[in-house]
Amino acid sequence: MANGESESGHPPDLMNKLTSLCKRRGFVFQSSEIYGGVGSVYDYGPLGVELKNNLRQAWWREMVHRRADIEGLDAGILMNSRVWEASGHVEGFTDPLVECRNCHRRFRADELEGVQCPSCGMSGTFTEPRQFNLMFKTFMGPVEDEGAVAYLRPETAQGIYVNFRNVHETARQKIPFGIAQVGKAFRNEITPGNFIFRTREFEQMEMQYFVKPGTDAEWFEAWMERRMDWVRRLGITPERLRFYEHGADELAHYAKAAFDIQYHFPFGWQEFEGIHNRTDFDLSRHQEFSRKKLEYFDPASGDRFLPYVIETSAGLDRTLLVVLADAYAEEEIEGEKRVLLHLHPHLAPIKAAVFPLVKKDGMPEVARRVADSLRESLPVFYDETGSIGRRYRRQDEAGTPYCITIDGVTLEDESVTVRDRDTLRQERVPIAGLRQHLQAALEADPL
């Protein structure tokens, strides 16, 4: 372990550094900050929303556009509350909650080590655990009675199951095929924390793959491999990735088998994506509760069956935290420290920054012209304030892969310097060929 590094190989105190970089550079802000914040909800700023969009699009491209056998969907967050009875969430989506009688802080009983309160230090003060349902409840329509209860969805998966027939019939897919969806999910977590790792409002990127029973184990393995491969292609350090198999006592109520993809965060190994064999649990429950046939008829064999489901379920915000934590680096160059985000160029919020070396001699005018023309095809950022070194550092912290500088030579021969964020190499490129140059560089490592 290098001096000062944590066990996961990250720089010391990474979570605090990352939180402060995210705020300083406009990636992530605390929700309702001017009112003192709200329990574990975060807002994505100008750079954060770009990064999040890029990650979501990369997932969509991988899971929908590249696959003839997967269709997209965007279902509502609010659903008929019977959905959550059928899915088992009303009854079983709970965590064991205890309260310290001394300081009145609440904890998840399964996360406590021993009888001592982690907040006030008193021993033996916990109440008996009671099951606490994590779903947010609200009412639909103007009357707030039991019949009007609605839930904010705690997972996007159910929107897919209830649309299984719609999608299968309209898209004319044959089994095996999948349905993918990205969207908000809400959980009233007892102990949210670690920045955007565990929040009460988050986005999921889920895909449900419907297969013939008996072929599920094979598909489960194939999806484990495929999903790990994608995570590696994002550029995540392979040594900080591993699979974790759920033991029988850890399996969710719907799962026959489950593997997490875990990342070695500064606070330990934790999941950010799960691959689950949900069997025909969800479809059979929806068939029972809705009294609508959800069976699949296989024209080739003449068989009729309820498909099994292999689910891949990733948190968008949590994957984004993996991307940020893994990209964060501190380097020393000629005695000066620089902080940078080694983001995959496809994920980087800004692809190129354009600077005039100095704010005179017509350089800003040329630089603005270059920035405006690039802006037609790429997100670019123009900056003329501060020393050139400071401007480079700001872009390093934003993860911008290329910085373009207009200098004295540009005025003579219409060429600019292009600086590479990671290697710090600079090369001269004619303005006329700049767009193609950047596009070729960005395409060199497609996601």
Closest separation in Å from C-beta 423 to ligand GAP: 33
Give the interface with ligand GAP as residue ranges (CB under 6 A). 155, 157, 187, 189, 198-199, 202, 204, 206, 271-274, 311, 313-315, 317-318
In sequence order, the 6+-apart residues with CB closer than 8 A to the CB of 435 are: 373, 374, 377, 378
Closer to ligand GAP by Cβ: residue 155 or 407: 155
Q: How many residues does the chain have?
A: 447
Inter-residue contact 47 to 312 (CB < 8 Å): no
Closest separation in Å from C-beta 247 to ligand GAP: 15
Closer to ligand GAP by Cβ: residue 246 or 435: 246
Closest separation in Å from C-beta 388 to ligand GAP: 39
Closest separation in Å from C-beta 252 to ligand GAP: 7
Closer to ligand GAP by Cβ: residue 198 or 346: 198
Q: Round to whole Å and give the CA distance between 219 and 214.
A: 10
Task: Provide DSSP, 334-373.
Answer: TTEEEEEE---TTT-S-SEEEEESSS-TTHHHHHHHHHHH
Structure tokens at 374: 């690039």
Q: Shortest Cβ contact with ligand GAP: which residue?
A: 315
Q: Round to whole Å and give the CA distance between 192 and 190.
A: 6
In this structure, how many other beta carbons lie within 10 angstroms of the beta carbon of residue 289?
14
Closer to ligand GAP by Cβ: residue 58 or 367: 58
Closer to ligand GAP by Cβ: residue 190 or 358: 190
In this structure, how many other beta carbons lie within 10 angstroms of the beta carbon of residue 155?
20
Closest separation in Å from C-beta 362 to ligand GAP: 50
Closest separation in Å from C-beta 272 to ligand GAP: 5
Closer to ligand GAP by Cβ: residue 42 or 126: 42
Q: Round to whole Å and give the CA distance between 386 and 375.
A: 22
* Residue 111 C-alpha from the chain's centroid: 24
Closest separation in Å from C-beta 254 to ligand GAP: 8
Closest separation in Å from C-beta 122 to ligand GAP: 28
Closer to ligand GAP by Cβ: residue 173 or 191: 191
Inter-residue contact 12 to 4 (CB < 8 Å): yes
Q: Round to whole Å and give the CA distance between 21 and 214.
A: 49
> What is residue 72's DSSP assignment?
E
Inter-residue contact 299 to 185 (CB < 8 Å): no
Closer to ligand GAP by Cβ: residue 48 or 315: 315
Residue whose C-alpha is closest to residue 402's, from 427, 377, 385, 384: 427
Residue whose C-alpha is closest to residue 370's, from 444, 429, 425: 429
Closest separation in Å from C-beta 386 to ligand GAP: 36
Closer to ligand GAP by Cβ: residue 62 or 155: 155
